[in-house]
Amino acid sequence: MPNLTIQYMFKQLKPTYIIVSILISSIVFLVACSELEPAAPADEDILDGPLEGLTNAQSAQFLAGDIAFNDEIFTKDKGLGPVFVATSCGSCHAGDGKGTPFTTLTRFGQVDHTGNKFLHLGGPQLQNRSIPGFNPETIPTGATFSKFTPPANTGLGFIELVPDSAILALSDPNDMNGDGISGVPNWNTVPSYVDILENAISQNGKYICRLGKKASTFNLLQQTVNAYNQDIGITSTFNPIDVYSGHSIDPEVSDKTVRDVVAYLQMLKAPIQRETENVEIENGKNLFIQIKCAACHVPQLQTDFSIISALSYKTFYPYTDLLLHDMGSDLDDGYTEGSAKTYEWRTPPLWGLGLSPGSQGGKYFLMHDGRAKSIEEAIEMHGGEAAQSKNNFQQLSATDKEKLIQFLKSL
């Protein structure tokens, strides 16, 4: 019997020897483990961590939202579809970083503000997958469309809290300052389940929207409800309309889960700039301001009051004005949203830019559909209101270009 043999062996050993050997083997084990496990990445290298300074209750809600966002995979039994694009939030927003051309959403059929004549054919969003027994959608003949890569989801709690007055103050619809850059908010209708803040500014029943590549969404609740509905085919009390039948059905996700996911998105920390002490990078930032990149990619904004004190009255560094700009004909996809025209795009925040390859398979996929494969290519694609700034970039010496790009990679 092997057990007896072991007992016998132990009887032969002196107690001190046993203790010493246990100690040695645990040290060996610990050392081996620390070699196997990669060191935890530094806070500045990740995008999916929580804000600092959350209360215990806020941290608990962050965790609940994190699980719903990343780990809850929808199946047919949980209400998936019948037509859908993906089965979880996290499958498109891995690590909350930018997605790739393989995780895009396609929207089609809306060409101006008179509406979408392809709504009965599945518009505006393409659900290109389906559960068994149903047909996935295809883009109808004659419909123009736009593809969107998933943006990084960090720091959105800050973006949500920029007061409308600050966004309006940055806009210059008639280019009164003559810099060739106008910038307008996306005025759009907001669904009734969304609470409009007291200081929100409205025009003919429309509000200033700010989320999404065309800034067509008002806040994170609307974005989350839409994503469940349009991306996963999941209804909620907020939006009970089934994406396939167009009929109102029982909620497939609870209000609590929706609220937890919204809280999770609000409490994701803002990306942290790296190498701030580096002189080259400091020079690169000055160039960025000099050649007018900062006219749209506004370095610094402030939040308004929030019951989450870690977000309340804070200065932050997103490099966006949250406004729409005419980006020229090469970036015109022939698709509109809210008051955004076919050639208008919201200035994307540049914070976290240098961390993009981490969630894009080691590569860059920039601009709304990921068509730019490097930062320089993205700059070269700027047209319309940004043409002058692009020309300024082209005039820079090779070393100055390099400094500018180093700065952008540090964001």
Nearest to 235 by CA among 81, 370, 357: 81
User: Is 270 a binder of ligand HEC (CB under 6 A)?
Assistant: no
The pairs formed by 241-245 with CB atoms below 8 angstroms and a separation of 24 or more are 243/81, 243/83, 243/84, 243/127, 244/81, 244/82, 244/83, 244/127, 244/134
Contact stretch for ligand HEC (CB under 6 A) within 130-138, 189-197, 300-308, 373-381: 373-381
User: Is 170 a binder of ligand HEC (CB under 6 A)?
Assistant: no
Smallest distance, Å, CB 408 to ligand HEC? 6
The pair of three-digit structure tokens given for residue 384, joined into one six-digit string: 């319309």
User: Which of 47, 54, 86, 190 is the binder for ligand HEC (CB under 6 A)?
Assistant: 86
Phi-psi label, residue 49: left if phi above 0, alpha if psi -120 to 50, beta otherwise: beta
CA distance 23 to 34: 17
Which residues make Cβ contacts (< 8 Å) with residue 91, sequence separation at least 6?
73, 103
Question: 228-262: buried (b, 16+ CB within 10 Å) or exposed (e) per residue?
Answer: bbbbbbbbbebbeebbbeeeeeebbbeeebbbbbb
Smallest distance, Å, CB 205 to ligand HEC? 22
Considering only residues 292 through 321, tell me which ones interact with ligand HEC, judged by CB under 6 A: 292-293, 295-297
User: Which of 80, 85, 143, 167 is the binder for ligand HEC (CB under 6 A)?
Assistant: 85
CB closer to ligand HEC out of 149 and 235: 149
User: Which of 285, 341, 382, 403 is the binder for ligand HEC (CB under 6 A)?
Assistant: 382
x-or-dash string of contact with ligand HEC, 195-234, rule CB under 6 A: ----------------xxx------x--xx--xx--xx--
By residue count, the chain amounts to 411
User: Is 358 a binder of ligand HEC (CB under 6 A)?
Assistant: no
CA distance 265 to 155: 8
User: Is 263 a binder of ligand HEC (CB under 6 A)?
Assistant: no
User: Is 348 a binder of ligand HEC (CB under 6 A)?
Assistant: yes
CA distance 24 to 41: 29
Smallest distance, Å, CB 16 to ligand HEC? 59
Instruction: Note the residues at the interface with ligand HEC (CB under 6 A).
Output: 69, 85-86, 89, 91-93, 103-105, 148-151, 153, 156, 181, 211-213, 220, 223-224, 227-228, 231-232, 261, 265, 291-293, 295-297, 325, 327, 331, 345, 347-348, 350, 353, 366-368, 375, 378-379, 382, 385-386, 389-390, 393, 408
